[in-house]
Chains A and B, each alone.
Chain A
Amino acid sequence: EIVLTQSPGTLSLSPGERATLSCRASQIVSSSYLAWYQQKPGQAPRLLIYGASSRATGIPDRFSGSGSGTDFTLTIGRLEPEDFAVYYCQQSGFSSYSFGQGTKLEIK
């Protein structure tokens, strides 16, 4: 089973700062099969990025994804107050379709 490990577990930043979140896979994942989601308390996850770097419909361009192989990154260019949430990566290339454990982005 492929395991996705996200780091850091918690990231404390201020609005206006840049956030960099990491997702490392236990096996090589095709870039086509890596996605990122945002989840706020009491809400369902929201798709942000698919194919490692393509923004989903309606996602602001301050969100960007990059990476290949086993290392992927979600970058939030300039944090807005509504961006503080938990972020998950997910792989869809192996049949477990597994998620990372999440990175909590909190206000410093």
Chain B
Amino acid sequence: EVQLVESGGGLVQPGGSLRLSCAASGFTFDDYAMHWVRQTPEKGLEWVSGISWNSVYTGYADSVKGRFTISRDNAKNSLYLQMNSLRAEDTALYFCAKDHEQWFGSHIFDYWGQGIVVTVSS
């Protein structure tokens, strides 16, 4: 059974940093691209960032480019999102998601974690 478990969320002040982690199990982690997707009541679902199986390719939404960094450790079956210079508009429920296709991915998400809340507020 595929499981994705996020951790590392919480309350942070504007301008602060936070690192999200996602522990994966139940599939061959290093065969698949992985992603972060966030959700708010106001803006709905928004793809944030993705990374290929071998970390060669990474991508970011314009809204987070230059502030967020995605990475993975295939030896630990883990995905990460380093979030710097956080803004109030980054407040959201963040999901870790597995890509439907192997290797470089399709940006379609077939398994999701339960999500972790990030709140940016003073």
Contact = CB atoms under 8 A, between A and B. Distances in A.
A95 B58 CA distance: 12
Nearest to B50: A97
Interface residues of B, number: 20
Contact of B108 (A43, A50, A102): A50
Q: Helix, strand, loop or mixed for chain A's interface?
A: loop
B95 A44 contact: yes
Given A47-B111, A97-B47, A97-B107, 18 more contacts: A33-B106, A37-B109, A44-B112, A45-B45, A45-B95, A45-B109, A46-B112, A47-B110, A50-B110, A88-B45, A90-B108, A92-B106, A96-B47, A98-B46, A99-B44, A99-B46, A100-B44, A102-B44
Contact of B59 (A33, A46, A95, A99): A95
Interface of B: 44-47, 50, 59, 61-62, 95, 100, 106-115
Nearest to A102: B44
A35 B115 CA distance: 20
B113 A44 contact: yes
B31 to A, nearest CB: 16
A2 interface: no
Given A92-B106, A96-B61, A47 B113 contact: no
Interface string A48-91: 00100000110000000000000000000000000000001010
A50 to B, nearest CB: 5
Contacts of B113: 44
Given A45-B45, A88-B45, A101-B44, A35 B61 contact: no
